[in-house]
Amino acid sequence: PMENNLGSLPKWLQQSLRTFHNKRQYSRGVSGLAEISGYSREHISRIIKTQVNKSTTELLSDLRFEGVLNLLRHTDLSILDIADEYDFKSTAYFYKSFKNRYSETPKKYREWHRSRLIDRDYYSEK
């Protein structure tokens, strides 16, 4: 999921974001990304703002939630495990962040998405 809109970033930053994402360093934020990349927070922030028109924090949040949505859609992991997998500091914070972003709970999102998959499978078999 990370490849969306990141192609304009320098290769070193794309690789650093992949590493950051794969190691689930989200609680470390911009400082963690700077450490992985070897570049300063300011330098990274300037590049991201110029190339993607987002703050580094916004971009990291977007990537984090892309991963969360992917797990909700394609796995049977519990919502608690997904929150833990993506390094949310508490389940309450995860639910609040998810609801603020998507206007529904992770459970409702998963149920809605899965019902669409069932409908799609049903109609594709006919």
- What is 73-100 written as a DSSP string? HH----HHHHHHHTT-S-HHHHHHHHHH
What proportion of the chain, given as a percentage, has pLDDT over 90? 77
pLDDT above 60 (res 123): no
Residue 35 C-beta-side C-alpha neighbours within 13 Å: 9
Provide the token pair at 97: 């962040």
pLDDT tens digits, 43-93: 999 999 999 999 999 999 999 999 999 999 999 999 999 999 999 989 999
**Amino acid occupying residue 115:** S
Residue 7, pLDDT score = 84
CA–centroid distance for 34 within its chain? 18
pLDDT above 90 (res 122): no
pLDDT tens digits, 82-121: 999 999 989 999 999 999 999 999 999 999 988 876 655 5
